[in-house]
């Protein structure tokens, strides 16, 4: 059932609408003037307004702005006699949804009304869904998070390139997704690409595509991720790892809005919004000449800094409860409440691995917990054992080689940061690609 306002000075039309729409199950109110209509919408909210254009006091189109108020505003259908179709079209440009010509049959009336209401229903469902995708997964009501949400809301509406900075595990990817799903490109694709995971040529072809025969093994042509993100968002994660020789190409793509596939001769126009993220300081990269300054400025049109978890301890309890609940669902266990002492303990930790570390801590706690609550011992457990980094010790007659030392140290650091390669690489002061190489070299990589 919807609430409908009928505005017409002809008694016959008011009676017809009230009768037909009333019988269709709607709640109908009818008024006979523009002033009456404005008064009615200021009094209560309507889902739909059927408004005659020729009213005795004012014409229906000129009161449109006053009818289109409220959140969400009603769908307005104009009622028009043949000679004023032009006015009806003007009305639609001003926000009316549709119009219906006089005289109309009950069937016609039911149809336009139903169509407008169904459209609104869809719109609402879609709006809620995209909102949920955008913000629903982001937990935390600290002032810092509130500010972050407000920024996302504003920035999502534009197409400007965004650089998201913040320590590892703070939620940069979550922010990127929120920007995509809260904006105009929500119906397009969100295409994430990790710039640190692929080496030079592969990344080149991955991003920009290649033509057939561009290199050995290129049996077919391939469209790149820039093209795949058409009318959507391309998320360049770990942008600091982008090889220096690819940087001019990316800069060109951003500046000209076109890309040239590997081995190709002509450029392809692309329309993808670019969002980049980094947990390393790009400014430092500029100093060591591993990151181009011009690209940095082009990417950082808008910068969003995601604060570390220790800067918003107020979020920890809420996040911890959420992760405990999720972990319990995954482990098919019943819900485990966190004790106040456990929450206090969690809130006091420094969380160098930020939200991801908290998430892992609760996952482990839920899996290992034996009681039906999570107490300090459950959430503090293994962390305190591994959290004391000491150098590998050796005795005089057992001098390890540098390789052995390196291998042991890498293992240690991996343990310290819960096997998260990005974090480990950061702690080791090397990039991820280098870490992968070393893991393979020392046989530490399972695959």
Ligand X SMILES: Nc1ncnc2c1ncn2[C@@H]1O[C@H](COP(=O)(O)OP(=O)(O)OP(=O)(O)O)[C@@H](O)[C@H]1O
Q: Which does 159 bind (CB under 5 to 8 A by kind): ligand X, Mg ion, none?
A: none
Task: Out of 74, 140, 209, 308, point to the residue binding ligand X (CB under 6 A).
Answer: 140
> Which of residues 80 and 426 has its CB atom nearest to ligand X in the complex?
426
> Which of residues 173 and 325 has its CB atom nearest to Mg ion in the complex?
173
Q: Strand runs (DSSP E) across 82-127, as ranges?
A: 98-102
Per-residue interface string for the shown chain with Mg ion, residues 172-191, x marking contact by CB under 5 A: -x------------------
CB 45 within 8 A of CB 5: no
Q: Which does 138 bind (CB under 5 to 8 A by kind): ligand X, Mg ion, none?
A: ligand X
Give Cα 420 distance to the centre of its chain.
23
Q: Rounded distance, CA 49 to CA 39, Å?
A: 13
CB 58 within 8 A of CB 34: yes
Q: Which does 171 bind (CB under 5 to 8 A by kind): ligand X, Mg ion, none?
A: ligand X
Q: Which residue has the closest beta carbon to Mg ion?
A: 173
Angle value at C-alpha 405, between 400 and 406, nearest 5 degrees: 150
What are the backbone dihedrals phi and psi of residue 251, each rounded to the nearest 5 degrees, phi first?
A: -55, -45
End-to-end alpha carbon distance in the chain: 59
Give, as ranges, the residues between 171 and 230 that touch ligand X (CB under 6 A): 171-174
Q: Strand runs (DSSP E) across 89-220, as ranges?
A: 98-102, 162-165, 190-194
Give, as ranges, the residues between 314 and 373 that touch ligand X (CB under 6 A): 319, 355-356, 359
159 binds Mg ion (CB under 5 A): no
Going by C-beta distance under 8 Å and a sequence separation of 6 or more, which residues neighbour residue 302?
A: 155, 158, 160, 161, 162, 163
Give Cα 264 distance to the centre of its chain.
33
Task: Out of 205, 361, 422, 431, point to the residue binding ligand X (CB under 6 A).
Answer: 422
Per-residue interface string for the shown chain with ligand X, residues 266-295, x marking contact by CB under 6 A: -------------x----------------
Q: Strand runs (DSSP E) across 22-132, as ranges?
A: 27-31, 48-52, 75-81, 98-102
29 binds Mg ion (CB under 5 A): no
Q: Which residues pair with 4 in a beta bridge?
A: 28, 48
Q: Total number of residues binding ligand X (CB under 6 A)?
A: 18
Q: Which residue has the closest beta carbon to ligand X?
A: 171
Where does this chain touch ligand X (CB under 6 A) — which range of 8-16, 116-124, 166-174, 344-352? 166-174
**Which residue, chain included where needed, has tokens 């039911």?**
110
> Which of residues 87 and 165 has its CB atom nearest to Mg ion in the complex?
165
What are the backbone dihedrals phi and psi of residue 269, each rounded to the nearest 5 degrees, phi first?
A: -75, 135
> Smallest gap, in angstroms, from Cβ of residue 398 to ligand X?
36
| Cis ω before 157 (30° cut-off from 0) | no
2 binds ligand X (CB under 6 A): no
Q: Rounded distance, CA 439 to CA 433, Å?
A: 10
> Which of residues 103 and 143 has its CB atom nearest to ligand X in the complex?
143
Beta strand pairing call for 3-7 and 48-52: parallel
> Smallest gap, in angstroms, from Cβ of residue 84 to Mg ion?
57
Task: Out of 169, 209, 232, 307, point to the residue binding ligand X (CB under 6 A).
Answer: 169
Give, as ranges, the residues between 231 and 250 that touch ligand X (CB under 6 A): none
Give me 95's structure tokens: 């926000």
Beta strand pairing call for 273-278 and 162-165: parallel
Q: Which does 139 bind (CB under 5 to 8 A by kind): ligand X, Mg ion, none?
A: ligand X
> Smallest gap, in angstroms, from Cβ of residue 143 to ligand X?
14
Residues that bind ligand X (CB under 6 A): 137-140, 166, 168-174, 279, 319, 355-356, 359, 422
Residues that bind Mg ion (CB under 5 A): 173
């Amino acid at each position: 059932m919807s609430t409908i306002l009928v505005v017409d000075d002809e008694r016959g039309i008011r009676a017809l609408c009230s009768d037909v729409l009333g019988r269709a199950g709607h709640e109908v109110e009818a008024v006979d003037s523009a002033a009456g209509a404005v008064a009615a919408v200021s009094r209560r909210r309507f889902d739909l307004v059927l408004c005659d254009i020729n009213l005795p006091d004012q014409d229906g189109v000129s009161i449109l702005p006053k009818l289109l108020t409220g959140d969400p505003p009603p769908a307005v259908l104009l009622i028009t006699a043949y000679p004023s179709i032009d006015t009806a079209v003007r009305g639609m440009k001003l926000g009316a949804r549709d119009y219906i010509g006089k005289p109309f049959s009950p069937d016609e009336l039911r149809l336009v009304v139903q169509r407008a209401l169904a459209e609104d229903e869809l719109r609402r469902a879609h709006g809620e869904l995209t909102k949920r995708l955008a913000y629903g997964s982001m937990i935390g009501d600290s002032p810092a998070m509130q500010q972050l949400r407000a920024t996302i809301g504003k920035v999502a509406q534009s197409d400007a390139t965004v650089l998201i900075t913040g320590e590892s595990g703070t939620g940069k990817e979550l922010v990127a997704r929120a920007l995509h799903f809260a904006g105009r490109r929500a119906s397009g694709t969100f295409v994430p690409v990790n710039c640190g995971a692929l080496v030079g040529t592969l990344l080149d072809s991955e991003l920009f595509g290649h033509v057939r025969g561009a290199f050995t093994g290129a049996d077919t042509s391939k469209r790149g991720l820039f093209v795949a993100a058409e009318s959507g968002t391309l998320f360049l994660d770990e942008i600091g790892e982008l090889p220096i020789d690819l940087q001019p190409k990316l800069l060109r793509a951003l500046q000209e809005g076109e890309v040239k596939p590997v081995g190709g001769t002509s450029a392809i126009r692309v329309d993808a919004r670019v969002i980049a993220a980094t947990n390393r300081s790009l400014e430092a990269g500029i100093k060591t000449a591993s990151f181009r300054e011009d690209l940095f400025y082009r990417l950082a049109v808008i910068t969003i800094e995601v604060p570390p978890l220790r800067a918003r301890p107020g979020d920890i309890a809420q996040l911890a409860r959420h992760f405990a609940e999720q972990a319990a669902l995954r482990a098919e266990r019943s819900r485990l409440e966190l004790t106040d002492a456990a929450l206090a303990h969690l809130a006091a930790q420094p969380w160098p691995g930020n939200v991801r570390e908290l998430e892992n801590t609760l996952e482990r706690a839920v899996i290992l917990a034996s009681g039906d609550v999570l107490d300090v011992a459950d959430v503090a457990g293994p962390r305190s054992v591994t959290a004391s980094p000491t150098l590998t010790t050796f005795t005089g007659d057992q001098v390890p080689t540098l390789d052995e030392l390196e291998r042991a140290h890498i293992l240690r650091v991996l343990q310290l940061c819960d096997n998260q390669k990005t974090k480990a690489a950061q702690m080791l002061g090397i990039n991820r690609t280098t870490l992968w190489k070393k893991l393979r070299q020392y046989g530490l990589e399972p695959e």
